[in-house]
Amino acid sequence: MSQVKWNGERLAYLDFIRGFAVLGLLFMNIPHMGLFELGYVRFEPALVSDTVLDGIKAVLLDGRFRSLFCLLFGIGLYLQSLSYRKRDLDHASILKTRMLWLLLFGLIHCVFIWPGDILIMYALCGLFLISRLNWSSDRLLQRGKLFFVIGLVLMFLEAMLYWYTEDIITRDSATFSQAYDALLGPYRERLVIQAFVALVYILTFPILSLFYLGGVMLIGLGLFKSGKLSDGFTKQEVTGLAIVTALVSGVHLAMAIVSPALNHYLAMLFGSVSGLTMALLIWHWIVTSRLFTSTQAWSTALKRVGGMALSFYIFQSVIATLLLQVFYPEWILTFTQLDYFVMALVCIALQLVLGFVYKGIFKQGPLEYMWRKLVERKVNAIVRQNGASTAG
């Protein structure tokens, strides 16, 4: 099995895929940016457009972008470790500092902007991965698969718990009305709730998040080290990934049509399996087609957005929560899935334009710049310490 080669330069295909992933996340996140705890609440009777979009999500969207981000995160952490090692720096200490600052960004995002934050879990996963970055590709893949399966089992048990204990919520239910009224209440009350959500994320991380997220990251890093994510998969491997994706997505699609209520609880499980296999197919297609080498404006914009994924991830939350919670909360009462889909498309177009223009002027996104400067203090301290040791 060949090992991937890296000369220290920024990999354009990673920025391309990262841009694709961060923009695609908006399709799944935006219905939750109004009423986070409920997400999209169905009409009764169900709308035809909702059923159609449920099918589209099952086949093309659920879990795809989340899986791509997990794959990218573990690989990014590994490349950063190589970069620090080339400079003879204590990579583990610096990476821990990076993850702690990312954790702080996530806490601020979760408490003050939107409680659907993923940065908290990514930072905690990053702290878990640091000591495992030197593992061989085979060991990473074996441990990643084990973690992934455990994560799916825990996900299924959680889904069944909610299925048996929760009632189905529709637009005309009291629960929906109460959640909407709470949204219109004082902001300070939401801060308390969102701070509690952040605490729950941290406390439940070892059970509800580590195995699934960590498993995907370990699998991605193992595949990257083996060269699969830079060279592409074999025809047999592509066929296998396509079969699994089609089978699981097919079951997901059937359930979305036949039993939307049960599908609501099992969507995360189905999307996590087909999401990972389809994410790997998307990755393979982008790498082997050399799509990221295009010099067309859309490709350049996508890579520039990918180079500022942290800034745009937070930007999405700011824009969507301002629209849905501050300026036009009444949209929550009437919006269908199609309305949210169109809103996501408009926001994606805006981000592509902003990314293209901004990165043409500045080298880094604002949050990327801030993050780098914060970590540089740790880097400079280690450099000074190394210098003092050498002088001594």
Residue 134, CA distances (Å) to 138, 174, 213 in order: 11, 53, 19
d(CA 179, CA 32): 12
Number of Cβ within a 10 Å radius of residue 193? 13
pLDDT value for 2: 45
Q: Report the sign of the C-alpha dihedral through residues 109, 71, 27, 48, in that order.
A: negative
At 173, list the tokens: 């239910």
Q: Rounded distance, CA 52 to CA 337, Å?
A: 10
One pLDDT digit (tens) per residue for the chain, 392 residues = 445 666 567 899 999 999 999 999 999 999 999 999 999 999 988 899 999 999 999 999 999 999 999 999 999 999 999 999 999 999 999 999 999 999 999 999 999 999 999 999 999 999 999 999 999 999 999 999 999 999 999 999 998 888 887 778 899 999 999 999 999 999 999 999 999 999 999 999 999 999 999 999 999 999 999 999 999 999 999 999 999 999 999 999 998 888 887 888 888 999 999 999 999 999 999 999 999 999 999 999 999 999 999 999 999 999 999 999 999 999 999 999 999 999 999 999 999 999 999 999 999 999 999 999 999 999 999 988 887 666 65
Q: Which residue has the tokens 């990476």?
A: 95
Residues paired with 42 in a beta bridge: 170
pLDDT score for 1: 41
- Can you name the residues that pair with 205 across neighbouring β-strands? none
Please name which of 252, 24, 69, 41 lies closest in space to residue 159, comparing C-alpha atoms: 252
CA distance 51 to 256: 7
Res 210: pLDDT? 97
SS3 34: coil
Number of Cβ within a 10 Å radius of residue 52: 14
Q: What is the pLDDT of residue 258?
A: 85
What's the token pair of residue 370? 């801030």
What's the confidence (pLDDT) of residue 5? 61
Measured CA to CA, the distance from residue 80 to residue 83 in angstroms comes to 5
Q: Angle at the Cα of 303 (from 297 to 305), degrees rounded to 5?
A: 100
What are phi and psi for residue 133, nearest 5 degrees?
-65, -25
Taken as a whole, the chain contains a residue count of 392
Distance (Å, whole) CA 355 – CA 143: 37
The burial of 289, by beta-carbon neighbours within 10 Å (0-12 exposed, 13-18 middle, 19 or more buried), is given as exposed
Query: Residue 167 and residue 129: Cα distance in Å, rounded?
Result: 38
- Identify the bridge partners of residue 170 per DSSP, sorted by sequence position: 42
Q: List the one residue out of 86, 88, 119 whose CA is nearest residue 105.
A: 119
Structure token pair of residue 295? 């010099």
